[in-house]
Amino acid sequence: MLKISDHGAVRQIRLARPPANAINHELTLALTAALAEAEQAADAVVVSGAPGMFSAGLDVPELLALQHDEMFRVWQDFTGLLGRIACMRVPIVFALTGHAPAGGIVLAVFGDYRIMSRGSFKTGVNEVQVGLVVPPQVYRALVRLVGPRQAERITVAGELLEAQQALDIGLVDELADDAEDVVARSIAWCERHLALPRHAMSLSREMARADVRSWFDESRDLQVGRFVDIWFETETQNTLRALVERLTSK
């Protein structure tokens, strides 16, 4: 489900769970472990996806089959993955090689930088449209990137944005022409930062990202429990199952 390649001091971790790189428990654990290893083996990390599709977000059909305690463990580990990204000791860039809705952009908002493919590719937090609420850490990350008013607007409406719209509000930092260029620019961003005086860059980065790390010092299990309770509400379950039916009927 992951393909690893090194570009000098930069490690690329590519999501490889076709057809849509949907995030299930296995991929969550694999990516968490790969990032932990990369933090020790490389000086910077790029997380990428397939051309046209970074990740479609959570694997809803698979997660709908879980019982409450199983879903609690899954969401606990997914929150752990977000914390791993937020607390990386080395720079981490997300190469959004195509569509990155919901869970796809949720991973990326905790990184240092986001580069997305130009065009009609969609991203955004559409959780409300399927009866869910973004976790508090995700909302804080959105506020940090796009400001309070834009974070409120895109979270409450749950509308997906095209790449240029995402750039305009600051949800992504840069656009590139295609997936290959997205990855190349992401690696180049890492290399430019690694060329700076390393100790000064690392200490400055640690200071600048202290707020992001602090969000994962709070009571994680309490927040996980709240999300899982919402997941199993009747309205949410009905909305998610209707979504799956629409997708499978196409």
109-150 per-position pLDDT tens digit:
999 999 999 999 999 999 999 889 999 999 999 999 999 999
Residue-wise burial string across 15-37, b where 16 or more C-beta atoms lie within 10 A, e elsewhere: bebeebbbbbbebbbbbbebbee
- What was the pLDDT predicted at 119? 92
- What was the pLDDT predicted at 222? 67
Grade residue 219 by pLDDT with cuts at 50, 70 and 90: low
Q: State the chain's mean pLDDT as an integer.
A: 95
- Quick one: average pLDDT of 59-85? 95
- What was the pLDDT predicted at 223? 80
Cα 46 to Cα 107, 154, 227, distances in angstroms: 12, 26, 29
Cα 105 to Cα 78, 99, 101, 167, 233, distances in angstroms: 14, 9, 6, 13, 24
Which pairing describes strands 161-162 and 122-124: parallel, antiparallel, or unpaired? antiparallel
- Quick one: average pLDDT of 30-44? 98
Describe the strand order of the beta sheet including 92-96 as a list of residue ranges.
2-7, 10-15, 44-48, 92-96, 113-117, 174-176
Cα 228 to Cα 71, 76, 100, distances in angstroms: 7, 10, 23
CA–CA gap between residue 94 and residue 48 (Å, rounded): 6
Contact 214, 87 (CB under 8 A): no
CATH node for 2-181+198-234: 3.90.226.10
CA–CA gap between residue 230 and residue 232 (Å, rounded): 5
Amino acid in position 93: V
If you search the block for the tokens 């607007």, which residue do you land on?
153
- What was the pLDDT predicted at 158? 93
- What was the pLDDT predicted at 142? 97
Q: Which helix (H) or strand (E) covers residue 240, if one does?
A: helix 234-249
Grade residue 189 by pLDDT with cuts at 50, 70 and 90: very high
Overall residue count recorded for the chain in this entry: 250
pTM for the predicted model, two decimal places = 0.95
